Amino acid sequence: MKPGRVLAPICAAMMLASSCASESQSAGELQEVKVATVLSGQSGYLAALIEEKGIAAKHGLKIENLAMDFTEAANALKLGRADASTMQPSTAVRLRKDGNAVQILVPQLWSGNAWVVRKDSPYRTIEDLRGKKIGNFSRVTGAYFFSAVIAKERGLDVERDFQSLDAETGALMGLLERGDVEAINMFEPHVTKLLLTGKYRVLLDFDTEMEKIFGAPPLKTGVAVQTETVENNPEMVKALRAAYLEGIEYIKSGKDEEFFRDNAQKYFGLSGSEEIEASFERNRENFVGETDSDFTEAQNEILTKGIELGLLPDAGDLTDLWVK
């Protein structure tokens, strides 16, 4: 037997061992980052995609997603239990007012909200609903905040000019179905699901309306970090921002189609090809991605309007609310 035939498998084994050691070393070099986030709906979907498609690892990160609602996630960031948090801009303003320096690292989702009515109802504008019973989310939510701003811009007061019932998502849809209210404030993908039944229609789309008023749709959620983290750990912040932006671009480009179909039931409660197909397109549209100064100016104007309405505290200058 020629020496080369003996050495070849030995060398191959050595190369394989070296390769495995290198991979193990690379894995060990991933920086661990704790992100407090809602692990359902679009936020949960994006978090899962970033991890399962290897996007986090590509940017040198191992993300540990902490399952929390929006309030818990904000508190986790405030208390230092998470490095980043899914957060509504209005929540960021409240935290800054209380002395917690937080900034939005990545804009994540447009509101996706709309006033929905029964298809055969006589209403054509929200002004037609004056004095009527409507279903809305609680006063501390971004969804309520957006509805109040839109109402104000149309010369209405969302609390005084309507008989408003506060409820959660499922309860709101039940109120509309039973006829207990004339309209509800609802968000995607539930709006699309309601429309597909043929029983309902959109009376007013929040994103379209606020883009007319302010020049951009309202941001529902972003990924927030402490200003201290931005200053002390800039490389991690840069990597986290890059990972989220790549994940969002993956969705907006439609590359996630198979992943979406496989996870439509888990994250969105979707069933049936018609629901999945319609919601896939709407999901793409609802993510934000890269932004410019016009975007931040529009969002700050929306937040300032909320301050004027007394829905948000005055937290001072908002120009540094956004990590550039």
pLDDT (tens digit, 9 = 90+) per residue, 257-295? 999 999 999 999 888 889 899 899 989 999 998 888 899
Query: What local confidence, expressed as pLDDT, does residue 217 receive?
Result: 95
Q: Is the pLDDT confidence value at 24 over 70? A: no
pLDDT tens across 187-233, in order?
Answer: 998 999 999 999 999 999 999 999 999 999 999 999 999 999 999 99
| Contact (CB, 8 A) for 324 and 106 | no
Query: What local confidence, expressed as pLDDT, does residue 271 receive?
Result: 85
pLDDT tens across 61-112, in order?
Answer: 999 999 999 899 999 999 999 999 999 999 999 999 999 999 999 999 999 9
319 burial level (CB within 10 Å; 0-12, 13-18, 19+): exposed
CATH of the domain at 43: 3.40.190.10
Are 144 and 272 part of one and the same domain? no
In a domain, 233, yes or no: yes
Beta strands in 6-146 (DSSP E): 31-37, 61-67, 84-87, 102-110, 113-118, 133-136
User: What is the domain range of residue 105?
Assistant: 31-111+219-321
Within 10 A of 188 (CB to CB), how many other CB atoms are there? Answer: 23
Whole-number percent of the chain with pLDDT over 90 = 80
Within 10 A of 305 (CB to CB), how many other CB atoms are there? Answer: 20
- Give the global pTM: 0.84
Q: Is the pLDDT confidence value at 16 over 80? A: no
Are 236 and 100 part of one and the same domain? yes
Paired with 165 in beta bridges are 135
Are 102 and 118 part of one and the same domain? no
Are 125 and 57 part of one and the same domain? no
Q: Which of 176, 191, 214 is the last residue of a domain?
A: 214
Are 210 and 224 part of one and the same domain? no
Helix axis angle for 142-153 and 293-308, nearest 10°, is 80
Average pLDDT along the chain = 89
Q: Which of 214, 247, 263 is the last residue of a domain?
A: 214
| Contact (CB, 8 A) for 321 and 107 | no
Kind and range of the H or E run holding 200: strand 200-205
Are 155 and 232 part of one and the same domain? no
In a domain, 10, yes or no: no
Over residues 121-150, the mean pLDDT reads 94
Are 169 and 310 part of one and the same domain? no
In a domain, 4, yes or no: no
- The number of distinct structural domains making up the chain is 2
